[in-house]
Amino acid sequence: MATSLSIGIALTLLAGLMSGNCMLPMKFNRSWKWENIWLVFSVVSLIILPWALALGLVDHLFETYRSLSLLQIAVPFLFGAGWGIAQVLFGISVQRLGLGLAYAIIVGLGALLGTLVPLFIQHRSQVSGKALFEILAGVAVMIVGISLSTWGGQIRERAFHRDAESRPANGYLAAVLLAILCGVMAPMLNFSFAFGQDIAHRATLLGNSELHAAYAVWPVGLAGGFLPNIAYSLYLLRKNRSWPIFKLASPEILLPVLMGVLWLGAVALYGMSATYLGTLGTSIGWGLFQIFMIMTATLSGVLTGEWKKAPTSSRLLLVSGFACLAGATTLLAMGNR
């Protein structure tokens, strides 16, 4: 059990490292617009790679799908579509509220619900009093850590962009409500995996290991997420008249491909880690995944010089947030033993 837990945490850490850096290639973009990058990224990460992994690792894949009811296929697909809508809303929320507040609301709610919903709906009877206390304490400390890190980032942004607070107040409440909706829908990717286990179970009955069977869920769930992402990309391509950019031979296309490999690789590793973490894998694993992703993304910002001239108060908040996230990792691991 201890070995399995260690492997699960290690895989989740690696998944967090990949996910936290998956948007980093966008910093090297020179000529493509956001919608050009996002369309290629969506096709690679949500269609090509999930199907390649499933076809390569899951035996009798189509037989697995044929043996399922429409409801068993629809549940992970619809949760995936909800997550895809959240992806679009995230960009809108950041534009209206600023990165600091939007990130705090969306990531905080996503981490909270993504951890607790599978725990209480699927595994409540399997968690003892002590373990439940450790898990809930870990989630609480995680939210504090996210809040402190985000607060520090907000102070840093204000110091670098003095006009950040000059946004019009008109529509502020609507923007906050939109961010809350996004935060509620953001963990639906995890719900797609957690409540799509009928697919994985059927794949195991057809001779697949639990580790490989998990990959049968991703083509279904991520196909749902593909629809809102591709629709929004196509809308922007038409609105901004940026289709001609694709006609130009450019190495820029390698950037969204790399982003797709990093992101889907992170998702695949998270799926593996959930198997190693045992019964509570889709609950505890999601919390750990969020923690490692946030820490990695922030550290990448530190290493690329984003915090070089940040105020001392923002750095202290960042360090405090990291300490809380490390403590939350320990508590969640203890609750999963």
pLDDT beyond 50 at 165:
no
Q: What is the pLDDT of residues 120-146, one digit of tens each?
A: 776 666 667 787 888 888 888 988 888
Query: What global pTM score does this model have?
Result: 0.78
Burial 78-117 (b: 16+ CB within 10 A, else e): bbbbbbbbbbbbbeebbebbbebbbbbbbbbbbbbbbbbb
Q: Do the Cβ atoms of 17 and 265 come closer than 8 Å?
A: no
Quick one: pLDDT band at residue 2, thresholds 50, 70, 90? Answer: low
The pLDDT of residue 111: 80
Q: Do the Cβ atoms of 289 and 20 come closer than 8 Å?
A: no
Q: What is the CA radius of gyration of the chain?
A: 20
Residue range 201-209: mean pLDDT, rounded: 94
The pLDDT of residue 326: 87
Low-confidence winner among 173-177, 308-312, 319-323 (lowest mean pLDDT) = 173-177
The pLDDT of residue 98: 61
Report the 10 Å Cβ neighbour count for 21.
19
The pLDDT of residue 123: 64
pLDDT beyond 70 at 115:
yes
The pLDDT of residue 75: 95
Report the 10 Å Cβ neighbour count for 317.
22
Quick one: pLDDT band at residue 46, thresholds 50, 70, 90? Answer: very high
